[in-house]
């Protein structure tokens, strides 16, 4: 009762506000719950199966689920995608086993794993059938783009941030120019550039895969943002730390690696994770240059004549999946921040 | 030789020289490849295409445009559409963001939870998905023009957009505009006088209320004296579609709604952290000096909070501008869609078109940053 009075009915104005909000919620929530669950249709062959019910047509998601996850990846080869992701899961689980050196697992994930995953995904060796990247799609493609983007943009961003704070004029100018150029333009224009202009800049006969071009575009784009986040952390480290490291005889790279970066990166974890989340959300833009990522494939499926009128269901499902990924990333960052907070 | 290498300055110079050489070589080889590729594909170069006839229509234009207009004109149309949606979006997102940010800090538990829910929900869903949702799931599935939602025969909502009465100024309407301008000058003078008097005598003049009142009353009076020389053109159903009146097309509404709602969630967090950054003691001190709640907010809290709010707010505004390019996905004719889309496809001059598009965004970003830096500088803490 005390809690109620203090938090909801402290003043007449607050009481009025509370009552009004409660009334609006009472109006809004039951129909939404009804639509989402109670009146919904969970399985069926086409839109017609959902006609008798008032609620959502989840049968649409059910029928297209495989496509949403794998895109147009041939169904007899989908075990390869599963295997690669299970492998990644096993490697990540290694972080939680006591006694296993974490740096070893990190090295495993960063060097041999991408190669193995690449061979599993695209085939062409080990007796695996070759699958063109144009057939990749769905959540699988989204995760590939996000994963590659995150692993590439983080180190690149750190290098750019170091370059921007370097004493060497040439290095500094190149870094500043690159960062400001990229941050001043929208990602779409970078992707357009990667998809239409890049071929013009390459020597005759050299041709990049479309997916690779998009990956380069996204990684470079987010690296510029990452650089600014990391620079914020670098600026927060007192100059005395660098001077102390130098007086101990450490060179530039050792100073950075052992003294400055561990402190600076710890400070900017929230910003780094925010950039990862932004990157994850930005992967949807590849659909504009004609790739079928998760949103792209859902969008395409809603135009299927058999399932006309299921756009809301498609987008709600899609939004729920994106939300789950982004929200858990932001929660994870909060927990890491707490764990690393050694408190000064 | 080894001694030279051990000298960190010499090493720095060598390092820079290598970097510069690599950079120049990289740039040169790109340029060289470009020339060969352009020549072998027979693509013309240069900016002459801007003067040739475009030959395609644009569904929404603020300036005169027809199929016989030039590519340069199409570029302007796209740019103006980008600016229109960005300016409106910035205005609405700031309002909504302010409201939700203040709601986050409300001591009403329900309100602050709801505001938190809004922020966490909207921030974690990709903007493009939100645009698609508003466009395909909401606006395009509205009833057809014949079954429009009708508000008092004045506003009509259907799957072709929202139709509203358009004001048509008649003879003598211009006088009201001049009156508004004169009042505006008067109000500026009034403000100066009020501030000076307050500094000299301590008496407070209710300047905001008086000036807003003047700004509304004077132009209305001028209009009334001439018998309101303004008529309204009402939209009316002719055949399958509405004719007349102002129309806001669904593409525009979708992008505006999505940009506003999405950016507001970020602005809300910025506003919240800004207000939270002001020490509680400031409020208590102001209240103990006898300032009212409104005065405390206006004179003590906001000026200090704004200093924290402005820099991230600027970058959100710039993000909104850049994000408006996502309108290309629902074919709203803004800069990227018209220029980097249609014009590029028709002319094939990718390099020039992309360079112009990027240049425009860069220029606007730079201008806004300069403006905000200037403002930031003005707001900076003046220390003793």
pLDDT in tens, chain B (384 residues): 666 767 777 888 888 888 889 989 988 988 888 888 877 777 777 777 777 777 777 777 777 777 777 888 888 888 999 999 999 999 999 999 999 998 888 878 888 899 999 999 999 999 999 999 999 888 877 877 777 777 777 778 877 878 888 777 777 777 778 888 888 999 899 889 888 888 888 887 788 888 888 888 888 888 888 777 777 777 777 777 777 777 888 889 999 999 999 999 999 999 998 888 888 888 889 889 988 877 888 888 888 888 888 888 888 998 999 999 998 888 888 888 888 888 888 887 888 888 899 999 999 888 887 887 787 777 766 655
Checking if the pLDDT of A293 tops 70, the result is: yes
Verify whether the Cβ–Cβ distance A21 to B136 is below 8 Å: no
> How many residues does the structure list for chain B?
384
Contacts of A202 in chain B (CB under 8 A): 33, 37
Tokens 């899961």 locate to: A89
The nearest CA of chain A is from the CA of B109 a distance in Å of: 5
Angle at the Cα of B357 from the Cα atoms of B353 and B363, rounded to 5 degrees: 140
Please tell me the least confidently modeled range out of A63-67, A314-318, B130-134, B373-377: B373-377
B128, two tokens: 């493009």
Residues B360 and B266 in one domain: yes
Indicate the domain borders of chain A: 59-73+131-340
B225 is a domain residue: no
Residues B35 and B83 in one domain: no
pLDDT digits (tens, 9 = 90+) for A203-213: 777 777 888 88
Domain A59-73+131-340 annotated CATH 1.10.357.10? no
CA distance B87 to B158: 25
Contacts of B16 in chain A (CB under 8 A): 168-171
Contacts of A330 in chain B (CB under 8 A): 124
A183/B contact by beta carbon, under 8 A: yes
Contacts of B327 in chain A (CB under 8 A): none
The A residues from 288 to 327 touching B (CB cutoff 8 Å) are 288, 295, 299, 302, 309, 311-312, 315, 318-319, 322-323, 326-327
Helix, strand or coil for residue A112?
helix
Contacts of B127 in chain A (CB under 8 A): 281
Residues B263 and B373 in one domain: yes
The A residues from 255 to 284 touching B (CB cutoff 8 Å) are 277, 281-282, 284
B185 is a domain residue: no
Verify whether the Cβ–Cβ distance A288 to B323 is below 8 Å: no
> Among A20, A145, A184, which would you mutate to test the B interface (most chain B Cβ atoms within 10 Å of its Cβ)?
A184
Residues B27 and B121 in one domain: no
CB contacts < 8 A, A to B, total 152
CA distance A121 to A131: 7
B361 is a domain residue: yes
A245, two tokens: 């490291």
User: Which residue in chain A is spatially nearest to B367 when comparing CA positions?
Assistant: A184
B163 is a domain residue: no
- pLDDT of A99 reads 77
The nearest CA of chain A is from the CA of B132 a distance in Å of: 8
B218, two tokens: 């004077």
**H/E segment holding residue B331:** none
CA distance B275 to B100: 13
CA distance A137 to A117: 15
Q: Which residues pair with residue B166 across a beta bridge?
A: B233
Residues B16 and B109 in one domain: no
> Among B26, B32, B108, B322, which would you mutate to test the A interface (most chain A Cβ atoms within 10 Å of its Cβ)?
B108
Residues B26 and B81 in one domain: no
B131 is a domain residue: no
Tokens 């992309």 locate to: B354
- pLDDT of B382 reads 65
Distances in Å between the Cα of A63 and the Cα atoms of A58, A312, A314, B41 are 9, 16, 12, 45
pLDDT digits (tens, 9 = 90+) for B12-70: 888 888 888 998 998 898 888 888 887 777 777 777 777 777 777 777 777 777 777 78
The nearest CA of chain B is from the CA of A283 a distance in Å of: 9
Verify whether the Cβ–Cβ distance B344 to A196 is below 8 Å: yes
pLDDT digits (tens, 9 = 90+) for A185-243: 999 888 888 888 887 887 777 777 888 888 989 999 999 999 999 988 888 888 888 88
pLDDT digits (tens, 9 = 90+) for A110-155: 888 888 888 888 777 777 777 777 788 889 899 999 999 999 999 9
Residue pair A35/A55 in contact by the 8 Å Cβ criterion: yes
Residues B31 and B91 in one domain: no
CA distance B330 to B336: 12
Residues B300 and B371 in one domain: yes
- pLDDT of B115 reads 92
Residues B17 and B113 in one domain: no
Contacts of A186 in chain B (CB under 8 A): 322-323, 325-326, 336, 361
Contacts of A23 in chain B (CB under 8 A): none
Contacts of A197 in chain B (CB under 8 A): 350-351, 354
Model ipTM value: 0.88
- pLDDT of B266 reads 93
Residue among A18, A187, A203 whose CB faces B33 most closely: A203
Residues B261 and B335 in one domain: yes
CA distance B237 to B231: 19
Q: Based on the structure, what is the number of domains in chain B? A: 2
- pLDDT of A238 reads 87
CA distance A192 to A234: 33
Distances in Å between the Cα of B346 and the Cα atoms of A88, B41, B43, B54, B339 are 45, 15, 12, 9, 10
Tokens 């970058």 locate to: B315
Verify whether the Cβ–Cβ distance B16 to A285 is below 8 Å: no
A285/B contact by beta carbon, under 8 A: yes
> Among A25, A284, A299, which would you mutate to test the B interface (most chain B Cβ atoms within 10 Å of its Cβ)?
A284
**Nearest partner of A226 among A214, A236, A215, A234, judged by Cα:** A234
CA distance B26 to B40: 21
Q: Tell me the CB-side half-sphere exposure of residue B172, using CA atoms within 13 A.
A: 13
> How many residues does the structure list for chain A?
344
Domain carrying residue B330: 71-126+250-379
**H/E segment holding residue B233:** strand B230-233
B49 is a domain residue: no
B199 is a domain residue: no
Strands ordered across the beta sheet of B161-164: B149-151, B155-158, B161-164, B246-248
CA distance B302 to B317: 19
A105/B contact by beta carbon, under 8 A: no
Backbone angles phi, psi at A188, to 5 degrees: -55, -45
Residues B101 and B6 in one domain: no
- pLDDT of A153 reads 92
- pLDDT of A342 reads 65
Q: What is the largest CA-CA distance in chain A?
A: 79
B84, two tokens: 């229109």
CA distance B59 to A36: 36
Ramachandran area for residue B108 (φ above 0: left; ψ -120 to 50: alpha; else beta) = beta
CATH number for the domain spanning B109: value is: 1.10.3720.10
Contacts of A277 in chain B (CB under 8 A): 124
- pLDDT of A320 reads 92
> Among B358, B363, B367, B372, which would you mutate to test the A interface (most chain A Cβ atoms within 10 Å of its Cβ)?
B358
- In whole numbers, what is the pLDDT of chain A averaged over residues? 84
A33/B contact by beta carbon, under 8 A: no
CA distance A316 to A36: 10
- pLDDT of B384 reads 53
- Looking at residue A185, the DSSP 8-state letter turns out to be S
CA distance B188 to B214: 12
């Amino acid at each position: 009762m005390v809690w109620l009075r203090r938090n909801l009915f402290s003043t007449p104005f607050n009481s009025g506000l509370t009552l009004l909000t409660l009334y609006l919620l009472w109006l809004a929530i039951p129909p939404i719950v009804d639509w989402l669950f109670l009146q919904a249709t969970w399985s069926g062959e086409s839109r017609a199966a959902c006609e008798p019910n008032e609620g959502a047509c989840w049968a649409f998601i059910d029928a297209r689920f495989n496509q949403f996850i794998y895109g147009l990846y041939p169904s007899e080869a989908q075990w390869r995608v599963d295997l690669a992701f299970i492998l990644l899961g096993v490697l990540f689980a290694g972080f939680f086993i006591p006694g296993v050196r974490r740096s070893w697992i990190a090295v495993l994930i960063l060097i041999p794993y991408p190669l193995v995953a690449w061979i599993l995904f695209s085939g062409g060796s080990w007796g695996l059938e070759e699958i063109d990247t144009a057939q990749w799609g769905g959540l699988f493609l989204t995760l590939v783009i996000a994963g590659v983007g995150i692993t590439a943009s983080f180190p690149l961003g750190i290098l750019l941030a170091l370059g921007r704070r370097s004493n060497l004029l040439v290095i500094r100018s190149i870094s500043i120019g690159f960062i400001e150029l990229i941050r001043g333009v929208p990602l779409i224009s970078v992707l357009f550039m990667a998809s239409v202009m890049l071929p013009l800049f390459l020597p005759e006969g050299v041709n990049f895969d479309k997916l690779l071009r998009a990956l380069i575009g996204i990684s470079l784009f987010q690296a510029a943002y990452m650089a600014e986040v990391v620079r914020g952390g670098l600026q927060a480290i007192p100059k005395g730390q660098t001077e102390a490291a130098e007086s101990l005889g450490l060179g530039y790279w050792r100073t950075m690696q052992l003294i400055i970066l561990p402190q600076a990166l710890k400070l900017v974890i929230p910003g780094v994770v925010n950039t990862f989340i932004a990157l994850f959300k930005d992967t949807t833009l590849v659909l504009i240059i004609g790739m079928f990522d998760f949103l792209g494939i859902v969008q395409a499926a809603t135009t299927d004549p058999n399932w006309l009128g299921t756009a809301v269901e498609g987008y709600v499902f899609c939004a729920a999946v994106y939300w789950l990924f982004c929200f858990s990333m932001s929660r994870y960052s909060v927990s890491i921040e707490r764990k690393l907070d050694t408190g000064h | 030789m080894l001694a030279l290498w051990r000298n960190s300055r010499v090493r720095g110079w060598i390092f820079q020289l290598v970097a510069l050489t690599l950079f120049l070589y990289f740039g040169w080889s790109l340029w060289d490849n470009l020339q060969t590729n352009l020549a072998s594909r027979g693509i013309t170069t240069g900016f002459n295409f801007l003067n040739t006839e475009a030959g395609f229509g644009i569904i929404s234009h603020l300036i005169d445009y027809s199929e016989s207009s030039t590519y340069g004109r199409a570029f302007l149309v796209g740019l103006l559409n980008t600016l229109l949606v960005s300016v409106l979006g910035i205005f609405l997102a700031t309002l909504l963001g302010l409201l939700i940010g203040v709601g986050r800090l409300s001591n009403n538990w329900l309100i602050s939870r709801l505001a938190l829910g809004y922020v966490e929900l909207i921030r974690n869903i990709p903007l493009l998905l939100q645009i698609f949702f508003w466009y395909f799931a909401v606006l395009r599935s509205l009833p057809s023009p014949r079954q429009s939602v009708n508000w008092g025969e004045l506003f009509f909502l259907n799957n072709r957009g929202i139709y509203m009465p358009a004001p048509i100024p008649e003879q003598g309407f211009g006088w009201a505009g001049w009156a508004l301008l004169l009042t505006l000058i008067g109000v500026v003078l009034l403000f100066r006088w009020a501030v000076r008097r307050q500094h000299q005598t301590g008496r407070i003049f209710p300047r905001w209320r008086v000036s807003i009142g003047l700004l509304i009353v004077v132009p209305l009076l001028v209009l009334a004296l001439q018998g309101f020389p303004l008529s309204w053109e009402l939209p009316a159903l002719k055949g399958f579609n509405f004719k007349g009146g102002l129309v806001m097309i669904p593409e525009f509404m979708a992008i505006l709604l999505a940009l506003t709602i999405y950016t507001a969630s970020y602005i809300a967090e910025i506003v919240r952290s800004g207000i939270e950054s002001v020490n509680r003691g400031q409020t208590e001190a102001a209240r103990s000096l006898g300032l009212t709640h409104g005065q405390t907010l206006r004179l003590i809290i906001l000026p200090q909070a704004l200093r924290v709010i402005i820099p991230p707010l600027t970058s959100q505004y710039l993000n909104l501008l850049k994000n408006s390019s996502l309108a290309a996905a629902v074919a709203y004719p803004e800069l990227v869609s018209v220029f980097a889309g249609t014009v590029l496809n028709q002319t094939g001059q990718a390099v020039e078109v992309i360079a112009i598009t990027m240049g425009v965004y860069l220029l606007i970003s730079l201008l806004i940053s300069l403006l905000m830096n200037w403002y930031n500088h003005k707001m900076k803490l003046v220390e003793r």
